[in-house]
Amino acid sequence: MEVLYRNDIQTKILYDVDAVKERLVRYQENERDIEIQQERYERLRTKLMSYGVYGMSDMPRDQSFVTDKVAETIAKAVDIENSLKTAIRNQKKEREALESIIVNLKSSNERAVIRTRYFDSMSWQEVSKLLFGMEEDFLDRQESYERRVFKIHGSALLNMAIYQYNEQHYYDTHPDGF
């Protein structure tokens, strides 16, 4: 929780920066899970194709074994495909929700840090190089630029938390949206 004082009414407001960060990390982890599920699905498809080639041989064999294995593999593939469709649809909704917050960040550096770190899964070094790599002293002061990225990241998380708080507070006090 980040504590800030609003000057206009001198009240203490808690902004849940950790919740914003956890949401972004969860998004990133869900992306990785989708990638893994897609790889599993592709492997099962390849396995199914090998059953087709295996079944075309002239050699006599017990077809019930192949049929059982094919049916089992098809069932797994269908389950993964259905799970993937749901995960991708949910991930797309979450990406849109996060983007609706990110576009309201005033600093292009804040938007870039959040997008590259969480959507593109870049390392801190890669983010630093992307933002500041064109600076003449970048190689000499790389650690300094990395610390700068950390500060931008912290500021972005706080500003996202403030935006979420303000949006929620507005809709709590104006349930009909007006």
Angstrom distance (rounded) from CA 57 to CA 125? 54
Residue 17 CB coordination number (10 Å):
18
Residue with tokens 């087709």: 52
Is the predicted pLDDT of residue 178 greater than 70, yes or no?
A: no
pLDDT of residue 70: 84
Q: Which of 114, 116, 124 is nearest to 148 (CA)?
A: 124
> The tokens of 18 are what?
């950790």
The pLDDT of residue 49 is 85
Question: Which range, of 134-138, 159-163, 164-168, averages the lowest pLDDT?
Answer: 164-168
* Strand ranges, E, within 33-172: none
Q: How far is CA 162 from the centre of its chain?
A: 21
What tens digit of pLDDT does each residue of 9-44 get? 444 556 789 999 999 999 999 999 999 999 999 999
65 pLDDT exceeds 90? no
**DSSP reduced 3-state for 4:** strand
Q: Looking at this protein, which amino acid is placed at residue 20? A: V
Reading the block at residue 164, the tokens are 């979420």
CA 38 to chain centre: 16
pLDDT of residue 67: 72
Helix or strand (DSSP H, E) at 140: none
Sorted by where each begins, the domain ranges of the chain are: 2-173
Q: Is the dihedral of CA 42, 43, 47, 50 positive or negative?
A: positive
pLDDT of 9 reads 44
DSSP letter, residue 3: E
The tens digit of pLDDT for each residue in 67-109 reads 788 888 889 999 999 999 999 999 999 999 999 999 999 999 9
Q: In which band, very low, low, confident or very high, does the pLDDT at 53 lie, cut at 50, 70 and 90? A: very low
